[in-house]
Amino acid sequence: MDKKNFETIAIRTQAEQSTHREHSVPLYLTSSFTFDSAQHGAAIFDGSATGNLYSRFSNPNTDEFIQKLCLLEDYPSGVATASGMAAVYTSLVAHLQVGDHIIASRNSFGNTLYIVTKLLPKMGVDYTLVDIDDNEAWEAAVQENTKLIYLETPSNPTLRIGDLSFIAALCTKHDIISVVDNCFATPYIQQPSEFGIDLSVHSATKYIDGQGRVLGGAVLGSEKLISVCYDYIRRTGACLSPFNAWILSKSLETLAIRMDRHTANALQIAKWLEQHPLIDSVYYPGLESHVQYNLALQQMKNGGGLVAFKIKGSDEDALDFLNALELHSLTANLGDTRSIITHPFSTTHSKLSEEDRLVAGVTPNFIRLSVGLENVEDLISDLSYGLEKIKN
Ligand SMILES: *Cc1c(COP(=O)(O)O)cnc(C)c1O
């Protein structure tokens, strides 16, 4: 059979049918699996036979979820994890040891930076942080003992772009493992494998679930690198639950159609914000005014569902704006059918010093918008109403 296209793979890849011939894939809610005979059990244990043994190792639902992701992102192997952070942590810890050095983008998810700057040093792993779009800095940071390079593109929350071809070439040259957090773009919008990135990491909690229900994650890559990650997950227990895998695999069926609408809504809102007199600046990879517009479109199918902007005004004005909104949810999540608005300065980034927040681009008037699937005219009216309420 010819290789199918994205939507078909996402919908038609499925776990082996049970004897009941269900059309919708059933949920295999079981912690362990039986053997056909004592000999069969022995063969599964010694590796001469394959088969499910225990759901911390494998389960038809987690297998289906991972198989889909591997086909969608064109990686030969993958492992499902309990959350996005379990995937991030595994991609790092499984490959690092005392004396290693890593280079990570400063513009990364807060908990990822915590792992890099607080947990890894306790294990004897040193780090250098660089600005995601400063290729010279990436190159200059390479040391003799650099083992891994980590970035997230587009980055949270300022939507800056890392140059995937450049990073992959740098890593090949110096025999370094490249890891990209592909959460914001999703497999539909960006395929790190196409650029030669070794490992793609996901928080499936965001757009892959897309409806704010479950946590999950995945690491995708070569058989060699993933077997190390799989061993780590299987032994330490940060595996994805069958229930969450079942939800996430079903969610992948609608990822393409959802991302198209998230993007269409986001682009329309970004353009509307750009011409609004109370908006200082808009950051959206799909806008020509984005400083890395050309690079973004080389790597990404489109700009995705997140928009960031700065209002003209203070911290207090930003909070007045948020409080006036009736439709947008005030929460720190993203990638949901429901539009979500976040003030990173006082929430997700509040634990950083003011100076570090400014370095990260998180000023008091900075706002992150995860554009949902509501009617875009209704979203724009809500934002318009909120901006009118700024008292200055
Ligand atoms: C949310 C998020 C994570 C962590 O994922 P969880 O599923 O919440 O553990 C990692 N990276 C990015 C970019 C995220 O947005």
- What is the rounded end-to-end Cα distance, in angstroms, of the chain? 63
Find tokens 């005979």 and name the residue: 37
Rounded average pLDDT over 350-375: 91
pLDDT at res. 16:
80
Give the number of residues written for the chain. Answer: 392
159 touches ligand 1 (CB under 6 Å): no
Provide the pLDDT for residue 171. Answer: 98
Verify whether ligand 1 is closer than 6 Å to residue 317 (CB atom): no
Give 158 Cα–ligand 1 centroid separation in angstroms.
15
206 CB near ligand 1 (under 6 Å): yes
For ligand 1, whether the C-beta of 188 sits within 6 Å is: no
pLDDT confidence tier of residue 1, bands split at 50, 70 and 90: low
* 392 pLDDT higher than 70: no
Mean pLDDT of 259-284: 97
Q: Hey, which of 92, 109, 184 would you mutate to test ligand 1's pocket, going by the most ligand atoms within 8 Å of its Cβ? A: 109
Q: Average pLDDT, stretch 85-90? A: 98
Q: Sheet of 340-342: strands edge to edge?
A: 279-283, 306-311, 366-370, 340-342, 329-330
Count CB atoms within 10 A of the CB of residue 139: 14
Q: How far is the CA of 15 from the centre of ligand 1 (A)?
A: 26
**pLDDT on residue 5:** 96
156 lines ligand 1 (CB under 6 A): yes
Q: Residues of the chain with pLDDT > 70: what percent?
A: 99
Exposure letters 13-37 (e unless 16+ CB within 10 A, then b): bebeeeeeeeeebeebeeeebeeee
Q: Is 88 in the pocket of ligand 1 (CB under 6 A)?
A: yes
Domain ranges of the chain: 6-252, 255-388
- Give yes or no for residue 342 CB within 6 A of ligand 1: no
Q: Rounded to an integer, what distance in angstroms lies between the CA atom of residue 31 and that of residue 33?
A: 7
**CB distance 85 to ligand 1 below 6 Å:** yes
pLDDT for the residue numbered 360: 83
What pLDDT is stored for residue 131 in this prediction? 95
Q: 228 C-alpha to center of ligand 1: Å?
A: 22
Assigned CATH topology for domain 255-388: Aspartate Aminotransferase, domain 1 (3.90.1150)
| pLDDT of res. 21 | 87
129: left (phi over 0), alpha (psi -120 to 50) or beta: beta
Q: What is the pLDDT of residue 356?
A: 85
User: How far is 217 from 79, CA to CA, in rounded Å?
Assistant: 9
| Least confident interval from 160-164, 292-296, 334-338, 355-359 | 355-359
Which contacts qualify for 343-348: CB closer than 8 Å, 24 or more apart? 343/318, 343/319, 343/367, 343/368, 344/157, 344/368, 345/315, 345/318, 346/315, 346/319, 348/110, 348/157
| Reported pTM | 0.96
Residue 216 CA to ligand 1 center (angstroms) comes to: 9
For position 352, what pLDDT does the model report?
A: 83
Measured by CA distance, the residue closest to atom 7 of ligand 1 is: 84
CATH number of 6-252: 3.40.640.10
pLDDT confidence band for 361 (50 / 70 / 90): confident
